[in-house]
């Protein structure tokens, strides 16, 4: 934890913030070795960066005050990640990366070769998703929580999953500016200059895109983006893309 991300829901009537998450309490007390009167770099969700001062400590909670120091800006142009359904551990890594970097939004949708058995995982629960995003945000000092959308309803005990919109369906019905990650595409540098205010990046499943999906992208004039000459794991592809995108914007 490099920053403690505070949620407005943690604010008490007296204006202080109450930390009751056991893992965060343990980290603050044992790893950071903070005591009453100690200060921690912090951020208020979607608002500001500042300092959290510990006022009271016990085994159940930490009570402290927050002082805002600066108001960060959202990244521009905005990046919306649209990720094919992945293995649950891969999903967790991508969530943390999205939180670290500060993408504008994150969607998980079904591609043709997505494995639907992954949809039974508890990783898709709202509270688990937010927890992983916050972990990434605390690592990177990003206070802006990405908007999240699932392109499916996970299965219940007696019901199968319900698809709300596959990747192919959204690219053919949306006017958004898309790119898709593909080893045969162009580098980000070759695609510059980028003039739009936001871009949506399509990340394929483990087996890759099908010929039909690639033809759909071609018909919709969606450019492919090449990140490496190697075949990358999905979480590596996301990491490579975000780092190369940031570098391209710095040089632009």
Whole-number Å distance between alpha carbons of 27 and 34: 9
- Structural domains counted in the chain: 2
- Residue 64 shares a structural domain with residue 42: yes
Instruction: Give the Cβ contact number of residue 17 at 10 Å.
Output: 22
Residue 77, preceding peptide bond in cis (omega within 30° of 0) = yes
The phi, psi pair for 205, rounded to 5°, reads -80, 175
Domain boundary among 42, 70, 98: 70
* Alpha-carbon separation of residue 215 from 98, 172, 178, 179, 219 (angstroms): 28, 12, 14, 14, 6
Q: Do 124 and 29 belong to one domain?
A: no
Q: Please check whether residues 96 and 217 belong to one and the same domain.
A: yes
pLDDT digits (tens, 9 = 90+) for 16-42: 999 999 999 999 999 999 999 999 999
Helix (H) or strand (E) holding 162: strand 162-163
pLDDT of residue 156: 86
- 200 and 85 assigned to the same domain: yes
What pLDDT digit, counting tens, does each position of 98-120 carry?
999 999 999 999 999 999 999 99
Confidence (pTM): 0.94
Same domain, 233 and 128: yes
Q: What is the C-alpha separation between 242 and 138, in angstroms, rounded? A: 18
Q: Work out the mean pLDDT of the chain and round it to a whole number.
A: 94
Mean pLDDT of 74-84: 95
Among 13, 40, 70, residue at a domain's last position: 70
Range of the domain at 10: 4-70
| Domain finish residue from 47, 70, 93 | 70
Ordered alpha helix ranges (H), 51-210:
88-101, 126-140, 167-173, 188-191
Question: Under a CB-based contact definition with an 8 Å cutoff, are residues 148 and 129 in contact?
Answer: yes
DSSP letter (8 states) at residue 192: P
* Residues 196, 220 share a domain: yes
Looking up residue 189, the CATH number of its domain turns out to be 3.40.1280.10
Distance CA 48, CA 41 (A): 11
Q: 17 and 125 share a domain?
A: no
Q: Which residues contact 237 (CB under 8 A, 6 or more apart)?
A: 181, 203, 227
Residues 180, 148 within the same domain: yes
Residue 252 scores a pLDDT above 80: no
The secondary element (H helix, E strand) that includes residue 79 is: strand 78-84
Please indicate, yes or no, whether residues 36 and 83 belong to a single structural domain of this protein.
no
Q: How far is CA 143 from the centre of its chain?
A: 12
Same domain, 66 and 83: no
pLDDT per residue as tens digits for the range 136-161: 999 999 999 999 999 999 988 778 89
């Amino acid at each position: 934890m490099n920053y403690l991300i505070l949620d407005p829901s943690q604010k008490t009537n007296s204006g202080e913030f109450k930390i009751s998450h056991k893992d965060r309490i343990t980290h603050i007390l044992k790893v950071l070795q903070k005591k009453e009167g100690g200060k921690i770099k912090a951020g208020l969700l979607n608002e500001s960066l500042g300092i959290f001062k510990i006022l009271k400590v016990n085994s159940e909670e930490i009570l402290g005050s927050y002082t805002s120091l600066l108001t960060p800006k959202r990244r521009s142009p905005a990046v919306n990640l649209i990720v094919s359904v992945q293995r649950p551990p891969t999903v967790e890594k991508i969530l943390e990366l999205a939180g670290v970097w500060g993408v504008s939004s994150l969607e998980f949708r079904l591609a043709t070769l997505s494995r639907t058995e992954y949809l039974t995982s508890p990783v898709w629960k709202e509270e688990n998703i937010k927890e992983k995003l916050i972990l990434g945000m605390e690592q990177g000092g990003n206070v802006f929580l990405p908007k999240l959308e699932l392109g499916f309803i996970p299965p219940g005990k007696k019901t199968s999953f319900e698809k709300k919109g596959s990747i192919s369906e959204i690219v053919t019905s949306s006017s958004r500016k898309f790119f898709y990650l593909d080893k045969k595409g162009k580098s980000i540098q070759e695609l510059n200059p980028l003039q739009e205010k936001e871009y949506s990046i399509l990340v394929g499943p483990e087996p890759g895109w099908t010929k039909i999906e690639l033809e759909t992208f071609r018909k919709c004039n969606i450019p492919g983006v090449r990140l490496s000459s190697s075949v990358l794991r999905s979480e590596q592809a996301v990491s490579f893309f975000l780092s190369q995108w940031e570098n391209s914007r710095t040089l632009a």
